[in-house]
Amino acid sequence: MAKSEFDPIMIGLSPDKDIGPFLKLHKADFACLRSGKFDLTKHVLAFQPTLEFSRQDAITVTKQLDGYDSVLSYIDRGKAPVIGISSTPTDDRAKQLALHFMEYYVRKQRENAVGGRPLWHRVYGGYRDKLVEDNPKLGFLVISNFNTESTQAKLEKVRDLIELYPNIPKILVMSGTDPISLISQRLRYSLTHAFYIGSNKTIHRDVMELLDV
């Protein structure tokens, strides 16, 4: 599908009153909404992952936008994807998309009366992590507060959490580079889908999109 054929996908809208308090109760990061709403179809950036031992084809805008529908389908079917979302220059828009998927999960959970509770978890420095230690039952997990400058100890906690919850959707929120490069090089892990979001349309996006033919 050509990028012009995608309908707008508005991200960063405040959750409805019936959902918002529940998301806050489960630690969702609402501070990211200060950046304002945006159309995902106009701000996704094509990118070329940097991998240490192999080469991967460029990830086009179209591939990422097709991936958006795939993520919703995974949630509908109770599958367990590992989704990487990165944004530049800050992680605000990555968080907004993660919040969007979290809200979608809660709505489907209420419609179908199935699935465990969601949680937004921030990883911090040090060698201990309360979520790893407590290991509560969850149905959806967002992991944030890491980037290219994070220590290996912090990133190992992210990997531990991915392994700890193999059967639920997991959203990894980051910044500093595209999500495939960071997760592949630092965590030695593969993503089901990846999204790289910019603040505005850029020359980088337009040039890379030429590969999407």
CATH 3.40.50, domain 19-28+55-209, yes or no: yes
User: Which pLDDT score, from 0 to 100, does residue 98 have?
Assistant: 98
Number of other residues whose CB lies within 10 A of the CB of residue 119: 19
pTM summary value: 0.90
Give the three-state DSSP class for 185.
helix
Distances in whole angstroms, Cα of residue 179 to Cα of each of 24, 53, 169: 26, 17, 16
Q: Which of 123-127, 134-138, 192-196 has the lowest mean pLDDT?
A: 123-127
Condensed to tens digits (0 to 9), the pLDDT of residues 37-49 reads 999 999 999 999 9
User: Which pLDDT score, from 0 to 100, does residue 4 have?
Assistant: 52
Whether the predicted pLDDT of 77 surpasses 70: yes
Condensed to tens digits (0 to 9), the pLDDT of residues 59-75 reads 999 999 999 999 999 99
Q: Which of 31-35, 39-43, 55-59, 166-170 has the lowest mean pLDDT?
A: 55-59
Residues ≥6 apart with Cβ < 8 Å to 157: 123, 129, 132
